[in-house]
A and B are shown apart, each in its own frame.
Chain A
Amino acid sequence: MTDSPRTWWKTGVGLVLTALMLFPLYWMVNVSLTRRSAIRSGDLYPRAFTLDNYRLVLQDQLPYLGTSLVVGLGTVLLTLLVSAPAGYALSSLFVPGRRALNFCLIVAQMIPAVVMALGFYTVYTDLGVLDTLPGLVVADSTVAIPFGVMLFSAFMAGIPRELLNAAAVDGANTWVTFTRVVLPISRNSAVTVALFAFLWAWSDFIFASTLNREGGKLRPITMGLYDYIGSQNQEWGALMATAVAASIPTAILLVVAQRYVAAGVTAGAVKD
């Protein structure tokens, strides 16, 4: 039935729509593979083909890519350490002021990053952690932690109480129950949280451009890209090749972890 001519017609329309949607990305790759002299002629495919732009990326951008990796992993670690226990507490333990805390988490996700950056800038200047990687990790994790807590607690609330009670009967205290029973079951949620924490930290522009401006080579890849944008005659080939390099984690995640991505997007936004 599904192979009727009618649905194949829909596949055709779907292909056209997807191509339209993804055209900017094709254009980015196209420009990144085009020789400098031919970039302004705007060929629909890289007729003046070159890999020079990517050679330049390998030469110049590796420190930035490495920094982004470190910042991303640091953000993942901090996010998981704070949000997993909190998610457990909010879903299964008695917490005074739970409603107020939940409200704070919702509002926290709505606060503009530029407002946070302004506050952090003063605080970091006082503490002397401006332009440091730990400072950037903390700032980046403010995006991921409220999300992580809510995702964890939504999932952990679904763990059968009998399971937790059985552990308690066996003499396990809360900590043992958490590490031996709750965490292993919540593995998928942890992957989703880690994935988004990494992706957001990797993509961050606002915090990197405010709290880590003078970090030299110890700045993330978004800043490596931003350096190109500021210059008078923009090198579009190298710029686009760097943009492609900055997109690598997205590509990997889409191929390897697509179902976790989908889980994160819809998490709770729709009533279950």
Chain B
Amino acid sequence: MSRNSAATPTLERRATRAAAADRVADAAGDRPRRRRRRWAGVAFVAPLVVYLVVFYAYPLVENVSMSLHRFTRATYITGEAPYVGTEIYREVLTAPAFVPTVQQTAVFVVGSLVFQYVIGLGLAVFFHRHFPLSIVLRGLFLVPWLLPIIVSATTWQWMMDADSGILNRFLGLFGLDPVWWLGADNSLWAVTIANIWLGIPFNLVILYSGLQNIPADLYEAAALDGAGAWRRFVSITLPLLRPVSAITLLLGFVYTLKVVDIIWITTTGTGTSQTLATWAYGMAFGKGTSAVIRYSEASVVGTILLVLALVMGVVYLVVQRRDQEA
């Protein structure tokens, strides 16, 4: 789960309003003022555009370029990186690690999303009707989301320690054998559990505010008609929450796909816990000997992630626009 909160206002509507104001000024024969306004807008937005070009576009272009040139550690000294076309892409796609990594990424993302959403929704419904202390408790649920991920990750790492971790001690109470959580076979489940925990606050907050927008009289009417709590949830809450759910899951997908720190810190992406993002990170920046550093391969995986982000950006806009028309 990324720290990024979801700032996605509905800007188009405002845009049309500003344009309308321009037309009014125009009709009034106020051309000089309009021209001044136009330049003012450009001037105010200029720092952002410069920033996006220099600190977003340029690094991203470098990333793609690196995936087409053979970069090695020596490149940074000699400056030599021969152009090899799509050769490195072929190498990465046919690497023995590629298919398992994609599968693990899928398990990690889908597993995280399903549980984060279901638990988040359950909690949102639970907190929806006020009870004593509900506001305080709901606020406390946010804490894991605000903490530095490295803090949460190290704590989970210790709790999942095979010998002295509290999780195995707890399982021991029920006579269960200790689980080697961070061992190669289980590490995917271990990091997924930690990531579910991290993502619950985000889902809770967004779904909770979605619930707030459902008119209360709908529930009252349904209750008068004799609909039980479950019936009301299925026939009112779920359908009316669909637009919010779509956005929550979509953003959750994007944020989960790019998770590095929680996995890297608990397992350094070893065993089954390697995902596309940690694979890229490990190849370029992993601790260890410099002999295994592979920038170009990392950039190939990075470019794949970049394309996925672009696609999801388009999907997001489409979903948002459909919501606005509905």
Contact = CB atoms under 8 A, between A and B. Distances in A.
Given A11-B131, A25-B143, A86-B47, A91 B14 contact: yes
Interface residues of B, number: 119
A93 interface: yes
A252 B309 CA distance: 34
B21 interface: yes
Interface string A153-181: 11001000100000000000111001000
A82 interface: yes
Nearest to A165: B21
Interface in A131-166: 138-139, 141-143, 145-151, 153-154, 157, 161
B199 interface: no
Interface string B78-89: 000000000000
Contact of B305 (A112, A206, A236): A112
A268 B6 contact: yes
A116 B205 contact: no
Interface stretch (A46-54, A58-66, A221-229): A221-229
Interface in A96-121: 96, 98-99, 101-104, 106-121
Contact of A270 (B34, B38, B213): B213
Contacts, number: 366
A118 B9 contact: no
Is chain B's interface secondary structure helix, strand, loop, or mixed overall? helix
24 contacts: A18-B141, A28-B154, A86-B48, A104-B56, A112-B258, A113-B258, A114-B302, A119-B61, A122-B62, A123-B62, A139-B55, A145-B48, A150-B9, A173-B36, A175-B40, A206-B281, A210-B285, A226-B265, A264-B5, A266-B206, A267-B9, A268-B6, A269-B251, A271-B244
Given A89-B42, A106-B317, A270-B209, 11 more contacts: A21-B141, A25-B144, A81-B47, A86-B44, A89-B44, A91-B11, A94-B38, A119-B59, A121-B285, A123-B58, A150-B11
